Structure 1
């Protein structure tokens, strides 16, 4: 485990070093290409173990090799919940007529004939992503990337906006009220990820523990038949290889996206993008004892993006984007209608979200600011307004440059 953490830190330091040592005058010119958007995939506690797809809103294939590095930080929270999936059809029918938060009081926990899983999440998940774009033909490109994640306690100053203390300060003074999710009941700035899947496999991770890693391959084709109308499309084929001991497998997927550009004048323009993709999770299992991170084999997502850009003196692009992302549920939804949820004795407020929302479509909003000259640098902040199992708050910074 210590070795894995060292690899994570080494990769991060290496990326920062390469960026810091680059003289901007020696960097090949890097122009704005469509909507400027880094990976905005959430550090969802289950989603990080599979190869979710980041939508592509470029308008053309890259002309030279490019490298981008993204560092992300997302606060996750959910008190311990035990979930029983009844095997008896009669008990299932009975539970359907009872409110989900009351079902535990109508059964004897130690006598239920049922499947079972258990979840508890707390901490800030740090993610590091890197992608190398390789042009192949005029309208096609290959992207090879990696991802890695670490669980931390998220203490200031290393997490800033994603610390428990900042989030509860926001709840107290802006919106949410006093401790709406019982964080203070269990203690602030702690780290724990406990999971027992329905096959009886379990892990219990804490501060500084390495979570998962993977490598990804994406191939994009950019047709040009509507480019004169400033309408741009791309189609992608994707293979993701998950490399953690908890899920060693390969995922495959397909994607499509379109972008429309509206020119306001020669220095101001607006871009609108819409994309969708479909992923076959665990298409190939590379080991026999993979954890169950969702009963749905196929995961789909859609993303809508709007971006305003103006060009300042010195030909620097300043872009302001807003993004809406929605993903289908990781678990088959009908189970939620009869599952028996057993809460932690100390949890009272919003205690079922971390588990029940595995059965719901997830969504979140992201605001992105990017300035582009010879290097494209992006900053984003992300909010899960519907509290549906994504981080309460996530931030990220990304740099992208030509090689």
Structure 2
């Protein structure tokens, strides 16, 4: 909630500052909203579902457009096992014990419980494409795909998101020596292993390529909730995602709402602020009885805010610097953590339970973006998960988008 309060404080303050004057469209040509590619993290669970993000455009697309993006995120969690007792009396007993002491209070072999195993290591590289199709002056349709490959992340193919760079940063700048026990298990490895509570198994090795799915979004830009005279714009989205991997064959359904406010400064400079919310129903339709459980929460909500500063050069290129904050609700129901019994791997002593523990916590991350726009928009970004909730420690990405 502290993050949410901070977000809305920024937006409220911005709407009351003195330079919120009307933009004179005769003296400055503005982009159609904030330049933002997909900033979704390469979370090992998130890549298998259709997560939502905000659309901070002023108006519907007037021309058919294409965009392509690549992303690289270092994902890591030491091996950990968790047990979820089936008996309510046992659950009650567990709930009165500190979570990191629970494994010593029970004989796991004598408890009727569901078992979860998870271990994450590697660099997840994502590849996305999207086609934007204008429907009319007030609506457009986006059709996209997402895919991923797991790699070891060796230099020079991976630099900022590689194990060595991250641990050097921890050693010399912040974090201390080996805070997440990467060195204990070794650098430059690639494997994701997940056994869910229904005894279904996911195993991804180095070089494995995944088709995540197809995503469709229909956006409507209503006049009655926009005020061009005050440079306020809004849109609503309906989302349908087709998850196509062998680990999750299903359809997700979601809805979103977004607001954009523009502020003109002077000398061809302007600010843009966007706020959006959304709600996704995971696995609304399932096509396989062997789908893995990527979280026990049926609904995933998000709130996102972005602030972008723009200036137009003498050559009429728009340079944009942005900050984006994204908050997503937890994959697992938080109440379940009250009776979860995490069990150590016997090797790692630092952050040994992160792989399970953080599935019960909200996800959030900051993204710092730079883009330049003329006929083509090119964007670069760096992303940091300060709470380390199974999102990449560092993620980088770039995208290009253009009209046909």
Structure 2 length normalisation: TM-score?
A: 0.91
Gapped regions of structure 1 (runs ≥ 5): 1-29
Deviates more, 1:106-115 or 1:230-239: 106-115
Within-5 A mapping of 1:278-293: 278-293=279-294
Query: Displacement, 1:287?
Result: 1.8
Query: Displacement, 1:90?
Result: 2.2
The equivalent of 1:80 in structure 2 is: 79
What is the rounded CA distance, in whole Å, between the counterparts of 2:126 and 2:186 in structure 1? 23
What secondary structure, in the 3-state scheme, does the structure 2 residue paired with 1:265 have? Answer: coil
Query: Displacement, 1:260?
Result: 0.5
Within-5 A mapping of 1:4-403: 32-224=31-223, 225-403=226-404
Query: Displacement, 1:397?
Result: 0.4
- The alignment covers a number of residue pairs equal to 374
Gapped regions of structure 2 (runs ≥ 5): 1-28
What is the rounded CA distance, in whole Å, between the counterparts of 1:109 and 1:157 in structure 2? 45
Asked if 1 retains the 8 angstrom alpha-carbon contact of 2:53 and 2:304, the reply is no
What is the rounded CA distance, in whole Å, between the counterparts of 2:64 and 2:211 in structure 1? 27
Partner deviation per Cα, 1:315-345 (whole Å, 9 max, x = no partner): 1001000011000011111111110001111
The equivalent of 1:25 in structure 2 is: none
What is the rounded CA distance, in whole Å, between the counterparts of 2:312 and 2:355 in structure 1? 43
Partner deviation per Cα, 1:112-147 (whole Å, 9 max, x = no partner): 211111100000101001000011101110111000
What secondary structure, in the 3-state scheme, does the structure 2 residue paired with 1:305 have? Answer: strand
What is the rounded CA distance, in whole Å, between the counterparts of 2:172 and 2:222 in structure 1? 50
What is the rounded CA distance, in whole Å, between the counterparts of 2:378 and 2:181 in structure 1? 36
Partner deviation per Cα, 1:143-183 (whole Å, 9 max, x = no partner): 11000011111111112100011000100011000000000
> CA RMSD of the aligned region, Å?
1.2
Asked if 2 retains the 8 angstrom alpha-carbon contact of 1:31 and 1:372, the reply is no
Asked if 2 retains the 8 angstrom alpha-carbon contact of 1:236 and 1:256, the reply is yes
Asked if 1 retains the 8 angstrom alpha-carbon contact of 2:53 and 2:302, the reply is no
What is the rounded CA distance, in whole Å, between the counterparts of 1:314 and 1:203 in structure 2? 51
What is the rounded CA distance, in whole Å, between the counterparts of 2:116 and 2:324 in structure 1? 33
Query: Displacement, 1:31?
Result: 7.0
Asked if 2 retains the 8 angstrom alpha-carbon contact of 1:48 and 1:212, the reply is no
Query: Displacement, 1:207?
Result: 0.5
Partner deviation per Cα, 1:280-332 (whole Å, 9 max, x = no partner): 10001122211111111110000011110011111100100001100001111
What secondary structure, in the 3-state scheme, does the structure 2 residue paired with 1:161 have? Answer: coil
Query: Displacement, 1:266?
Result: 4.4
What is the rounded CA distance, in whole Å, between the counterparts of 1:289 and 1:227 in structure 2? 50
Q: 1:191 to 1:361 in 2, by over 3 A?
A: same
Query: Displacement, 1:208?
Result: 0.5
What is the rounded CA distance, in whole Å, between the counterparts of 1:89 and 1:279 in structure 2? 30
The equivalent of 1:3 in structure 2 is: none
Query: Displacement, 1:106?
Result: 1.1
What secondary structure, in the 3-state scheme, does the structure 2 residue paired with 1:101 have? Answer: helix
What is the rounded CA distance, in whole Å, between the counterparts of 1:389 and 1:204 in structure 2? 17
Structure 1 length normalisation: TM-score?
A: 0.91
Asked if 2 retains the 8 angstrom alpha-carbon contact of 1:61 and 1:138, the reply is yes
